[in-house]
Each structure stands twice: as C-alpha cells, then as structure tokens.
Amino acid sequence: MLTPTWQFAIDVGGTFTDCLAYGPQGQVLRHKLLSSGVTKGSVGAASSADCLVDATRIGDPPDFWTGFRVAVLDESGRVALASTIKSFDTATGELRLAQRLHAIPSEGSTYELTCDLEAPVIGIRHLLGLPLSISVPAVRLRLGTTRGTNALLTRSGAWTALVTTRGFGDLLDIGYQDRPRLFELTVRKPTPLIACSLEVNERVSADGEVLVPLDDGEVRQQLERLRGQDIESVAICLLHADLYPDHERRIAAIANTLGFSEISCSSEVAPLVKIVARAETTVVDAYLKPVLRKYVAGLQLALPNTEILLMTSAGGLVAPDAFRGHESVLSGPAGGVVGYSRAAEVTGFDRAIGFDMGGTSTDVSRYDGNFEFEYESRKAGARLIAPTLAIETVAAGGGSICKFDGAKLVVGPESAGADPGPACYGRGGPLTVTDINFFLGRIAPDHFPFVLHRQAVERRLIDLAQQVHWATGEELSPGDLAEGLLKIANANMARAIRSVSIAKGISPTDYLMVAFGGAAAQHACAVARELGIQQILNHPDAGILSAYGIGQADIVRHAALGMSARLRDLDTNELDAEFERLVQRPIQQVVDAGCSAEQLKVHRSIDLRYEGTDTPLNLPAASEGALRAAFDREHKRLFGYVQPHRPIEIVAARVQVVGKTGRSIDVSELCPPVAVEPTRRTSVRFAGKAIATANYERADLPAGAGVAGPAIIADQHSTIVIEPGWQAEVLSGGEMLITAQDGGSGSISEPSTSAA
C-alpha cells in the first residue's frame, strides 16, 4: 500500500455530510455538502444557454465541476433544463456546458450539480481539488455513516431468513408482547425484517445436554430450499446457543458451503441470555451487513489503496471487515459524542450534555468523564443487545416539517431530508424548522452554501395560517406562527435532554451544554433556558463536530460473556480467569488494526441485577463488597430504592479494549477581554419583538472577544444565535463559551424595529 499523506474524518448524516481533512504539512480543511451528493447553486445574471455563471462557485477547485451533470430547476423544484459541464473557470464561476440549453435560464433559478459518486468521495475530491478525470491518491479515511440506520428505518435491507430451533419460528412475531403506546387502540407492529423463518430439528438444554441432535443432512436440504427463495442473508439463533454454540456453528458451516455469503450467528453477535433480543440483534446484523458491505466496497473502488476505518455505535473505530450491521445504527451520532466530550475536557469541564441538532433529527447524550453505554436498547423498531453509546434521538432537526394537524401545530417527526429539503432550498419542499429560523432572521443567508428563497417560506406560512384560521378561527401573523413553531421544536428537544438527565436522577443545571450540528447553535440558548442550564460551549468546528469526533476516536473492540451466579458467591480468581479468556480476542483485533501494546487500555465491567428482576446495571469490576455498594448507589439513583436483603446476581462479564489513536489537543482557557464591533445589524425576532441585532463574523472574533446578546454570529457551517440575556466569550482555542447573564430569563430591552 502507498503511504497515505492526507487523513479524512467524515460523517455522513441524514441531510448533510461533514468532511474534515488533516494534511501532511499541518493543514486543516473543512467541507460540508448534502448527503445526496447534490451541490446546489443559483443562476447568475450573465448566464446563457451555453454557460451558467454563479459567483458563489468562485474559488472552487480549478476545473472541479467538469464532467458533472447540471439541472436547472423551475419554481416547483422540477428539472426544467439539463446538460453536462464541459469546463469550469474558478476565477469567474463560469460553468460552460457541453450541450446547449434549449432556453436561457432565469436569473436566480436554482441549479444542481450531480455525478455518480457518493458524498464522502465528492467531499474528499473537493478538499484535495481533484476533478473527476484525476484519480484520488492513497489517503486515510475515518467514516461514520447512516447507511445502516437508513436501511433499518426504511426497511430496505437484505432479503433475510431466520434459522431457529423447531417450535420457535414465530419468535419475532410474538416478541415480548410489550405495548410501547398503552392507549393506542390499534397496535401497529414494526414491519418485520425477515422474509421467512426456518425451523431446524435440534434442542440443547440450559445445562448443555443435547436433547435433540442436529441432523446435518436435513439442515442442508432445508438451506438448499432457502437458496431457491433468493435469500441473501441468514441469521442463525438457536435456543441456549449463547452458552452452547456448537449447533449454530455447524449450521453456519453448511450455509457457507451452499454459497450463502452473509451469515450471522447469535453466539458471535450477541452471546447473552434472552433469546428474543438475541434473535432480533442477529437478524439486524444479517439484514444490514450486505448493505454496508456494498457501500464500503463502492468507497474502496472509488478510493483505491485507501485505509478505511468505520465508526461503530459504541464510539470506536473498526476495520471494514469487522464492521457489523448491528453495530452501525448510531455510527454518525457516536462521533458527535466523542467530539463534544473532547471539546468539554479541553475547556476544563468534566460534565457535559451534548446537543446535536442536524437536518433530520436531534441527538442528545450525557458525559460524566466516561462514556455512558447501553447494552440493550431499541432502535428503529428493533431490539439490540450490543454496546451503544447512550444517545436519545428526537425527530426534530432543521428539516423537520412544520404543519397543522387539524387541532394543533406540530413539528416533525417527518423530515424534508436532503431532497427536496426545506422550502427555502427552492425545490418545492415543505415548511420546516430551517425555514422558520430563516424567516425570523436567525440564519445568516449569505453564509449558506446556496441561495435561500424567502418568498417560498412566506407562502407556506400564509397557507398554514389560513389552515389554522379555518379550523380554529384564530388569526395568526406569519411572525407569530413562526415563533410558535419554534417554541414547539425547542420543547421537543428539551424533553429529549430531560430523558438523559432528570429521568436518570441527574440535574441538567449541573452540566455544560455543548451545542453542535448544523442547527443546534440557533436553538441552544432557548433550550438551555428551558432546562436551567447556565453555560453553553460552541466549538470552532461545531457545525461538523461529529466529523471532528470521528477524527478523535480510538480503535475500540468489545466482548461479553453471559454468566449466571450470585454476587455473594463471587470467586475473584475464577472471574479473573474468565476476563483473561474474554479479553484475548478483542486485544488481538485492536493490535491487528495497527495499535501497539503501549496504546492499549483494557476496561472490565460486570452486569448486576436483583435476583428475579430483568434490568441489569453495568459497573466496573471490583471486589464483592465494592460491587455491592456501587450497585446500591446506582440503583438508588436510577430507581429511587434499594433492597438490602435481596440477592444480587451476576448476568454478564464485559471487556472493552481501547487502542488510543486520537489526536492531541491543546487546553483552552479564558483570555483577557477584547472589544469588537459588529459588521452590521439585521432585524431578528425575539419573544414577539423584532430587534436590530448585531451581526459578527466568527472568523473575525479574536480570543478574548466578548459578544452580548442579542447577536447573530456567522460561522462557516452554522449560524450562532446569542439570545437576549446571554453573553459569549471566545476562549484561547477558538471555542465560544456562552453564559446566562440574567439566569437565562431572556428579558428584552432593545428597541424594536419593523416586525419580521
């Protein structure tokens, strides 16, 4: 392999793809593009049927757009004119066309540039300045992707079969018979992931006794019939295979000889008790693996000789051949958790709440000096037994659709996504949170990567106001309606933060909020005020912090072993021996990924629960007495009570092996104050009043600069809204620390101007 020179950290989100590049000479480059791979622009005044001119393209890499397809859109977002780029002039922003358009495009019309490459590849090419005619050199790529998540949400994974013990074929249909919505009269079960189930005649007891031997010949015949049904992937989950995996391994070997390329065994994917959750996890792995392998193979083809590492839901990096479907569901958001935890640490905070608002959803989590993991969770309608960072997701992002349901205003859960996107994108999209912020003046439109269309937003607000009036008789101005929708969106996000703090016995007022993602900085002050949080941190790369976190992540592997014993019977020597056996494979995996022995760090933990209960707590491994005390403290915090005389049982032993690979970061701190002047003032609406608000360029704010709210600070990849009653200070590392000056009450004393 050629020696890589450039290193890339890329997060492919639901709407945007964030790219961060580190060059061999210390360069740091950034780029943000739509995850659809589409690049939008606006037709300039000097355009003709042979050439599109766009001043925003000036400075793009020379000849970069040559070979791209171009489509000019009409007002409804449909393709009106189409051609191919013959050449591109970076000095003038001229896109010369290979095929003459049959009409001259109107000034201000939206156009789109597309090619057949995935967004990460386009981002890498853009940062390196490589047109389509030049191959990409060997680079190092760290990638977080929503490809698996999207396939799970849209039920577009592989054609999968579940192979299980005879009598358990309807295992996933029956499930746990839980009712997530108790008062819903019509129960809507999630769409099943499997195409069919196959029951094999075998049975092993809980003590390991083979009650019904496995007939290899019969299994072969059954699997051959599956091959005739176009099954792509096989998930094997047998009763008690978490303890006795021999039958699963024999079935997998037969399936392999018959040509099944994607085979998942529960004894490898989730070797723990609870057959329903174990089966669901194994099916998710089998369902997503072909999708992910195809995606990664496409990247490897477009980026030959490139070393690729992928982010898992547990916040660690793995090689492509170790990237499993069930570990991919929170790939991108996990990068954000790593990113904001590092940002908080270097500014002196050891407790932080992450507020990651993107285009499709908002992810919130908590950091207490260590990452918080969930070992059993439910994601996109599927139950997973796998270590994942504890992240709460709410369908409230910049693309969340704002509507009236006949009785009340609603924000989300539906999203406009990247295509067609919000109404202001000019593709006929619906009214969204991004449109609301734009209308209220809370977005710096001249820093957006393409022209935003205010009239489209105004039309949709007027239409929505009419719907409300017809249904309720209430008259709402577009400004009042927009502020009301903004409050609903903020309340949805504050509710999610309460679920990772107050619901777990933690007060959010004791935490720093780290706001990141493309949209969080517009909402952070309002959400923090609702929660009583007094300080907010905004990193210089807040708009692409998930990519930053992926660049800071370590090589991590997890392993678990199911156990069943009372804590009071704990044999420390026997447990140490089990840990030693358990840790061998993940250590080898981390070493194989390129880490030295000096980089390795091993964490041991144990799952404990009260005997006869269902919810274990994960605690660091320790002596029997220390474990008992730690369990009582944690149980009291989470559930409000302890049962001192009730036996505690050990459910599982876990190991986490970390190969430290993250980049070093300098400590950041407060600096002597520096006075700064705004670049201009614009009208922004706060609490029913339109205020002449100071605007600043973040790039022009030196360390020590102080900005009092209300203010708008334009960043490269986001807009930061400093609401009334808040004060921002720039730290030595470029971070912005925003502090409530009035307890977060947000009182307004600025003179009002004309209404928005």
Predicted pLDDT of residue 108: 85
CA distance 466 to 462: 6
Predicted pLDDT of residue 4: 53
Mean pLDDT of 551-561: 90
Structure tokens that stand for 605 in this block: 């933990």
Structure tokens that stand for 569 in this block: 């019977």
Structure tokens that stand for 410 in this block: 């609603």
Query: Residue 749: how many CA atoms within 13 Å on its side-chain side?
Result: 7
182 Cβ contact list (under 8 Å, min separation 6)? none
pLDDT band of 604, cuts 50, 70, 90: very high
Q: For residue range 455-470, what is the model confidence (pLDDT) as tens digits? A: 889 999 999 999 988 9
Q: For residue range 149-180, what is the model confidence (pLDDT) as tens digits? A: 888 877 888 899 999 999 999 988 887 777 76
CA distance 236 to 245: 10
State yes or no: pLDDT of 535 exceeds 50: yes
State yes or no: pLDDT of 1 exceeds 60: no
State yes or no: pLDDT of 343 exceeds 60: yes
pLDDT band of 755, cuts 50, 70, 90: very low
Written as one string, the DSSP assignment of 512-530 is EEEEESTTHHHHHHHHHHH
Predicted pLDDT of residue 756: 35
Mean pLDDT of 487-507: 89
Q: For residue range 405-444, what is the model confidence (pLDDT) as tens digits? A: 888 899 888 888 767 888 888 878 899 999 999 999 998 8
Mean pLDDT taken over the chain: 88
Predicted pLDDT of residue 749: 40
Mean pLDDT of 301-330: 90
pTM here is 0.86
Mean pLDDT of 36-57: 92
Question: Per DSSP, which regions of 380-502 are E strands?
Answer: 382-384, 388-389, 392-394, 400-404, 409-415
Residue type, 265: C
Q: For residue range 633-655, what is the model confidence (pLDDT) as tens digits? A: 999 988 889 998 899 999 889 99
Predicted pLDDT of residue 743: 62
Of 280-284, 373-377, 525-529, minimum mean pLDDT range: 373-377
Structure tokens that stand for 445 in this block: 């439109």
Predicted pLDDT of residue 750: 40
Are the CB atoms for 51 and 95 separated by under 8 Å? yes
Q: For residue range 257-276, what is the model confidence (pLDDT) as tens digits? A: 998 889 999 999 988 888 99
399 Cβ contact list (under 8 Å, min separation 6)? 14, 15, 359, 360, 415, 416, 417, 418, 421, 422, 432, 433, 434
Predicted pLDDT of residue 663: 66
Predicted pLDDT of residue 207: 87
Strand-strand pairing, 689-697 and 680-686: antiparallel
Torsion of CA 720, 724, 729, 730, to 10 degrees: 20
> What helix, strand, coil percent values describe the chain, rounded to 5?
30, 30, 40
